[in-house]
Amino acid sequence: MNIYDIVLLGAALSMDAAAVGMANGMAEPKMGWKKTLLIALFYGVFQSAMPLLGYYGSSVFSSLVGRIAPYLSFILLGYLGGKMLFDAAHEASRFLHKKGKLGLGSLTAQAVATSIDALAVGVSFMAQEAAGALTMAVPWCTLIIAATTFILSLAAVQVGKLAGDKFSGSAQKVGGLVLLLIGIKLLFEAF
């Protein structure tokens, strides 16, 4: 596995994070650069931490988490997406976007939900390293994954902000629906 393979792996792993980042941008189109960078940073850090945990943790632990990851992601994203839809429909006080802003707890839950499946990548790194097929150290691989996720998530949040600005009234509904659909997709991938 060379650097190009790692970048492609990072792009593939970051797709869920990018979609959720886009939903966040749609829900908060006036989001500042600091918040946009924080979202991308959270996703990048979690997306690189999970393979490290999988690599340094035992393969038994990683395979157990790998089996429950789709269900855990479905529960987290389903709850967050459902809450977004409920809030948009009822204009109640918001859990996900208190006063129109993404909360730190919700951001952490999103980062975990979109990256937990990357634990299995850490186990595959262990196997590739044992076979001599990994051309660089695992920490470098995860740093590349973090950078790729950061860049793609940053771009996705910006696109979401543009879309949210255009479709302000329904942007939060669309964002909530995106979270629900990603959660359902992850659940069905388990079967």
How confident is the model over 147-189, as pLDDT tens digits?
999 999 999 999 999 887 676 556 566 666 776 777 777 677 7
What are the domain boundaries of the chain?
Answer: 3-189
**Whether the Cβ atoms of residue 148 and residue 11 lie closer than 8 Å to each other:** yes
Average pLDDT of the chain?
Answer: 79
8 has a pLDDT exceeding 60? yes
Supply 131's token pair.
Answer: 């076979």
CB contact set of 186 (below 8 Å; sequence gap of 6+): 16, 69, 70, 73, 74, 77, 117
**What pTM was estimated for this model as a whole?**
0.74
Confidence (pLDDT) at 96: 44
Confidence (pLDDT) at 154: 96
Question: 172: how many CB neighbours lie within 10 A of its CB?
Answer: 25
